[in-house]
Structures are given as structure tokens and as C-alpha cells.
Amino acid sequence: MKGEDWNPRGVEDEEFSAALHQRTEELYRIPNAETDDEGLITCAVLTMRDLVVFPRMVSPIFITPGPTLLAIQEAQDAGTTVIALTQRDPDIDDPQPDDYLPVGVEMAVGRLLSMPDGNSSALVQGRRRVEVVDFIQREPFYIIRARPIEESPDVDRQTDALMRTARDLFERCVQLDRSLPDEAHLFSINISEPGWLADMIATAISLPFKERQALLLTADPQDRLKRVNWLLAQELDVLQLEDEIQTRVQSEVDRSQREFYLREQMKAIQTELGEGDIWGREITELRAKVEQTALPVEARSAAMKEIERLAQMPPLAPEVGIIRTYLDWILELPWELSTPDNLDVRHAACILDQYHYGLGRAKDRILEYIAVRSLNPKKSRQPILCFVGPPGTGKTSLGRSIAEALGRKFVRLSLGGVRDEAEIRGHRRTYIGAMPGRILQTMKRAGTVNPLFMLDEIDKLGVDFRGDPAAALLEVLDPEQNFAFSDHYLELAYDLSRVMFITTANALGTIPAALLDRMEVIEFPGYIEEEKVEIAHRFLIPRQIEESGLADAEIQIMDSALKRLIREYTYEAGVRNLEREIGRMCRKVARMKSEKRRYPTRLGPNLIEKYLGPPQFFDTEAERQDEVGVATAVAWTENGGEIMPIEVLILEGKGNLQITGQIGDVMQESAQAALSYLKSRADQLGIQSESFERLDVHIHVPEGAIPKDGPSAGITMATALISAFTDRKVYKDVGMTGEITLRGRVLPIGGVREKVLSAHRAGLKRVILPERNLKDLVDVPKKVRTDLKIIPVNHMDQVIEVALYPAPFVEEKRHLRQRKSADKKVEKEKEEKEKEKVSPN
């Protein structure tokens, strides 16, 4: 027989509870078995497999057909009670007397009710504990004799305390345990007997079978109460823990329910306001937009997929914003729209000339490019052009004009300081705030698939631990790959093959080799003064006059004034600062005009200082003198060329070499080489070799200019060194560049045009160049070639001949030196005498 725990919750239905009441009444009417002379009762056994029913408790039980059913039927016929005996082990099917607990409960069994499954059920009510004495019948069911266990209803102080504790603990359990009805606690208050209270609580709370058995066996009421209290405390612990977990879970659930509720409310409000299902409408609109936009198949299906995801989400879900931004990107990037190319070479030539003076080579190359395109439109694999030159030499503005000539959109992206591959290629969408890389951002700005895309400052690209941006750029520029450029954010192949890329750089040296390989370099060497004046008259002045709001031809800047601006206010290879200074001049005049003051219409050189303040650069050449130990290098820097005086000083010391100023490793090495050469030639140059041991050499390269090519200062350092050791002056009007070997050979260097132009700009008269660099002079303007005398050299001996004052006769020199040391001796003696005078002792 299997049974269920007492569970008052099962009694809910009114009709059912009335029937139950009636059945309970009947139960109560059944009397206890009478004791015989020995004080024993004789009853049939009701076998309990896994159920313990305590005295006075009412429970339903379920009975399967068999001996137990027979026993009950017979007891009911006789109107007597039975004894419930619980098996020690519920798994035993045919229990023998020893398989039962030695203590059972006499109980009344109510009417049997047949159940649909063929079993029966009945209500039972425990009466009292009994102790088994012996089994007197075995077939067809057990009958035993048993001794009822009397319990004292008395309550002493200790028992009272135990009872209170039990009630308190039980009350708290009832509060926490949802399966216990509130009345259960009330019921416990009304029980006055300690044993009964213990049994009642044991019935109510959930206990393991073993615990119930143990409680049944504990005959002493006080002991039973103690045990129950201990069990209650444990149960309470578990319940409290459960409650905490429950509360936490509940608050989570509450929050999401609250959000759900608010969203539903918002929907209701929107409907009420006639705004209908905005979300639904938005999704529909998005779908329509994707359908109407010209997109490649892949992009369209990606967009649709995202929209379907969106449709599944409530409008305020956090991912909504992310998906919408992604969709916006897909929709706003140009996928198909292109501008038709104007490949008319003459038209292009007109436009390039219209906005730019000079730049013949660059213009020619571009016209060739356009011509090839027009003859063979399919040939898309033309090399990427790379414009290299100092700032302000018209690289960007020429690019703009090319775009105009071709009828393409023009966009620029500066790569200066880009160190992270993700800046080029974007971040994956899983990053918060992810965006496509700069390439696609710029394409979005262009709005067409075939803009002229200028990548500025490709020589300033950085590399660090976050990946190599140059590798990503390679993919951008490589026609083999760029038809399917991959951006981490977009995750769709994007076709860059119709873009015309032009890169710009100030210097070639720092461009990653792999990139440089794919590009055709066009140099923008910088302008000479006459060209600058021309550019100013034709383009810069008219533009600045217009920008400052003055009328055309209202003011005129005289050539002499422009030259002053160029020489004393700007010092550059390009014309950027010149344009700025012209702008400043124009604004001064504009202000006077708007203040209704008289203003000059012809601006001469004197007005410049008045308007722009004192000059910032001085005519360096005029200031300098022929000197010992100072030679002029012409160096190549990012800003074009610059002249750079290199100074050498020799001091008493121990033969050390010290180099200070703007120098890198390469320059340090070439200083060493120059010194070694000098030592090896000491004899021929008339230098005493001991002097290298007792003198320190100090070479100084001035700050300011940062030369890009270290070794080219070699011959200049050697010249300054020789000058210092031989006392021969260096001509101030000679500039020089060239690498020196230990044996004094002069090797070719780079950046010749910029260097020659800078020498010209600085007003030098002669430039010493390695002979093998002569070929680089072809692009130098004629004017410069006639103004400057270029002296090609192969060996340091030639340099010395050109740059240094002639050597005095060796005899003469020796005499000079002897006189010097004699003078020194006299001087020393004088000093010592003076000292003696001061300190008479």
C-alpha cells in the first residue's frame, strides 16, 4: 500500500470538504479496541510501506487489493480499529513480522471508496501508539496483540518551553513554506499536549521517511518535541535560503515583466494617439528602402536578414540601435552609383593649366594616364600615382583639378598617425560603438563608386602592436584584391576597383617598401622665387582678394613686396605660407575699407613690415662671413631643402669626438668617417698627427632642420673639420652635399633638386655635388642653373680645393705656429709674475 502525506491543501472544494467532514465524523465514531486482562489489544495489521501515520492525525490512504484490503474490510464489518505497522524497508514486498517497526499506531479506517484504477482509498485517523507484543495470525492477514503506550498530557516548565519554541519555529516555517496553510499554525496553538504537538508538526512539515520512523519510535513526548524542534530549525534554514534565492529570482522576473508591461503600454498609447504600430511601420519602410536601393545581391540579403532580426525585437532592445546603424551603413554606402568619366585629354589639359602654374611633369603624366584610359577603357590596371614633395607644392590642389577634369568626385583621407589596422578596416560589430574603417567612411562621403580618392601622408603611416595598417592599405591599392575589399564592420566585400587612388607624401624614405612598389612616384620639387611670384599673381592673390571680400583689381601687390614676403616672411619650398601671408595683407586692407578709412591700393615692400610686423627670416647669406670651422651643407628635409651650417671646434683635450645637435645614427657615423679620413690625410694637409691625441673635436649641427638623409652631410663635416685643423677659412657662398668614404671618395645622394633649389633660395652661389648626381639636375629650372654654379666632384680633394681658402706654404705655417706658441709662452710667464705679485709669500 502506498500513501500520501497529509496535505490539507488538497481540501479546497466545498462539496468535497463537506463530504470529507462527514467521513471524518464517521471515523470518529469508531471506538478504540478494548484491552484484555493483560492490558493488550488485538487487531488486524494494516501494512504501511513508506508511510508513517501519527496518532490523532487524519490522512487519506490508498489500498491495493490483497491481505490489507481484506483486513480492513473485516475490521469495518466488525466496527473496530486496526493497527498500522510501518515496514522498516519500503522495498520489501512480502513483509515478515521482523520486517515491521516494533511500534505501530492503532487507527480507525473510514469508508472504502473504489477508485477507477481498481484500487481503493479511505480516510484513516490515528489513535494511539502501540507496542507490538506478538503476531497471532498470519493468514490471510496478520493479526497482532499490542500494548497501547500511554502518554502523559502534563506539561512541566521545561516541556512548556519546548512547546513554545516548537510553535515559534513552526510559525516561521508556515510563513516561509508556501505549501503549508496558514491555519496549520493556528492548529498548533490549540494543541495542549506535548506529544500531540510533536506528532502534528511532524505530519505537517516535509521530513524524510527515516526521520518519521524515528519519531514514531520515540515514545517519550519530551524527547519527541526536542527532536521536532531540531528538525524545525533545520527546515527553517533551508526555507530561508530558498526564500532568499526566490526573492532574487523574483526581482529579476519583476524587472523584465515591468519592461514588458511598459512596452505594451507604450504601444497602447501610440495606438491611442493614432500613431499605430510605429515599429511595424518602420520595419516595413526599412524593407521597402532596401528593396528600392541599388545593392549587390550579397548586401541586399545581408540587409534583409538584419531587418528580419530587427522585426523580432522589441523596439527598445539594446541591439536595435546597433542593427539600425549597420543598415544605415549598407544603405548609404555607394554600391552602384558612378559618375561618367570625361576622358577628353584637351579638356583635361585646359583644366589643369587653368588652376596650376608649372608642374609640367606631373601634368604630362596625368594627361598620359587619361589618354590611356580613353583609348583603352578596359585597362583599369594603371599604376597608382604617388605625389611626393614638400608641403604647399600643389599636390592636393592638382589632385582636385584632376577630379574636376575627369568629372569625378574628390575625397581625401589623411593617413598621418594611423597606427591601427582597424582604423583602415574598421572594428567588428561585436565591439561597442564599432564603425567601418576610414576607407569606407570616406567612400560614403564620396557617394559614388568611382571618386578620385587621395590618400594623404602615406609616409606618416605608423605601425604598432595593433596590426600593420600598411598591410590593409596594400589590399586597398592592389587591383588584384581591391574589387573585394573586406571591412571588419561591414563583413561584405566592397568593390574599390573603380576608385582612382592618388597618394601623397613629403618624403619617400618612410613609405613602406611594399606600398612604394605599387606606386609610380611623381615629384613636386618646390618652386623658385620667380615661380612663386608668378603663382601668387595668377592664383593666390586673386583668391585671397576674393576671400577677404575685396573687389577684383582693387589692390595690387607689387613684385618687390612679394619678393620680400617670400624671402623674409616665409621660408618654404611650396607656397602655402605665402598664400597665408597674402591673405593676412588682404584682410588688413579689407578692415580699413570696412572702417571707411583710406587704404592703399598698391602694396609695396615697406607696407609689408607695417602690416605683418618685423620679418621672421633674414637673408642668411648676407649675414654670414667666411669663417674657419664652419661649412654649409644643403640638406633635404620634409619641407623641401634647407641649408645647414655645420660647425667644428677643436679644444685642448684627449682626442675625443663629440657631436651635438640634430643628428641621427647615420650622421654620427658619417662624422666618424670624416674624422678618420682627416687623420689619414693629416700629412698632406699639413696637420701634426700628435694633435689628434691632445685635442678634442666638437661637431655641432644646428637644431631646427631635421635632415632626412643622414650621410649626405659627410663632405660638409669633413670640410669643416679640415678647416678647423688647418686654420683655412671656408667660403660662405659654397653649399655642398655628398657622402664621404674613409678614403675620401664622394658618393651620390638623394633629393638633389630640393637641395639645389634651397641653395638657390638661400642665395648661395656655388653648390658642390657628387658627380654621379649631375643627371638629377634635368628638372631644375633654367634660372637656377644659370644663377648657381654647380661643381661636380668625385673626391674630397676636389671639395677642399673649391671650398677652402688656399693653404699657406707649409714653412709659413710652421713659422706661424712657432710664433703662436712663443706668444703663449710669454703670456704664461707674464701671468705667473702677476700671480707672484698678488701673493707675496
Where does this chain bind ligand ADP (CB under 6 A)?
A: 356-359, 391-397, 535, 539, 574-576, 579
Rounded to whole angstroms, the Cα distance separating 102 from 106 reads: 13
- The dihedral built from the CA positions of residue 258, 260, 261 and 263, taken in this order, carries a sign that is positive
In sequence order, the 6+-apart residues with CB closer than 8 A to the CB of 156 are none
How many CA within 13 A on the CB side of residue 440? 30
Rounded to whole angstroms, the Cα distance separating 765 from 733 reads: 5
Count H helices and E strands in the chain, helices first: 31, 27
Give the burial string for 273-299 (b: 16+ CB within 10 Å, else e): eeeeeebeeebeebbeebeebebeeeb
41 versus 502: smaller Cβ distance to ligand ADP: 502
Nearest CA to 146 out of 109, 194, 107 is that of 107
Question: Angle CA(541)–CA(543)–CA(545) in degrees, nearest 5?
Answer: 65
Strands, sheet with 500-505, edge to edge from the N-terminal-most edge strand: 410-414, 452-456, 500-505, 384-388, 519-523
What is the distance in angstroms between the CA of the first residue and the CA of the last residue of the chain?
Answer: 135
3-class secondary structure per residue, 672-734: HHHHHHHHHCHHHHCCCCCHHHHEEEEEEECCCCCCCCHHHHHHHHHHHHHHHHHCCEECCCE
Nearest CA to 435 out of 549, 294, 321 is that of 321
Give min distance, CB of 536 to ligand ADP, in A.
9
The grid cell for 185 is: 499554525
Nearest CA to 758 out of 701, 798, 699, 707 is that of 707
Rounded to whole angstroms, the Cα distance separating 627 from 728 reads: 8
Rounded to whole angstroms, the Cα distance separating 107 from 27 reads: 9
Rounded to whole angstroms, the Cα distance separating 762 from 785 reads: 14
State the residue number with the nearest CB to ligand ADP.
Answer: 394
Indicate which residues carry an active-site annotation: 712, 755
> Helix 278-292 vs helix 318-332: angle between axes, to the nearest 10 degrees?
20
Map residue 571 onto helix, strand or coil.
coil
Note whether 638 and 509 are within 8 A (CB).
Answer: no
Rounded to whole angstroms, the Cα distance separating 460 from 511 reads: 8
Rounded to whole angstroms, the Cα distance separating 527 from 389 reads: 11
Element (H, E) at 562: helix 559-564
Q: CB atoms < 10 A from the CB of 581, how many? A: 22
What is 589-605 written as a DSSP string? HHHHHHTT----SEE-H
170 versus 524: smaller Cβ distance to ligand ADP: 524
Rounded to whole angstroms, the Cα distance separating 565 from 562 reads: 5
The grid cell for 432 is: 561597442
The grid cell for 770 is: 657628387
Element (H, E) at 133: strand 120-137
- DSSP at 313: S
In sequence order, the 6+-apart residues with CB closer than 8 A to the CB of 503 are 384, 385, 386, 387, 454, 455, 456, 458, 477, 515, 519
Note whether 331 and 293 are within 8 A (CB).
Answer: yes
How many CA within 13 A on the CB side of residue 825? 6
In sequence order, the 6+-apart residues with CB closer than 8 A to the CB of 162 are 194, 222, 225, 226, 229
Rounded to whole angstroms, the Cα distance separating 725 from 270 reads: 94
